[in-house]
Structure 1
Amino acid sequence: MKTFMSTNIVSYENGNSNIETGGLKTYLAITLPLTALTFLAWYVIYRYARETGFSRSRDRHEGENGQQFV
């Protein structure tokens, strides 16, 4: 991963910028699906928690002297 992230997708030489399209395509081909997968996983977990009624506020238990424990 370190080697991949150290590639010069955009390089500046003599005041001019040069964009390496092959490296940019590879970067986008990896990061966009992983980002979409992250959002999908969040949505699935969110819907599951919402439908099952899971919530941190419902998991509190009251102890001695009115103290609340999570």
Structure 2
Amino acid sequence: MSAREDLDAYIARHVDHDPEFPAKLDAFQAAVIAERDAQIIAWLAKKAAEYGVSNRDARSKAEAVGRMADKLSRGAVR
């Protein structure tokens, strides 16, 4: 079973049934994922800035990390 199925089974056994609970749980999960993604994007942007633009190698590293942050912010990562 998945973690979600385990949680649903536990709730069905131990918690009064709330018909809106699955939607609330999905919303909470989406909020946690969005917060995690925002932290990752901020960290990648910080790392890109740390590389600087002093030479070609540093610029290329900064651009690659910046592209990763951009893709993640657009949801283009699978």
More helix per residue: 2
Q: What TM-score, normalized by structure 1, do the two folds share?
A: 0.46
Q: Larger relative contact order (C-alpha < 8 A, sep ≥ 6)?
A: 2
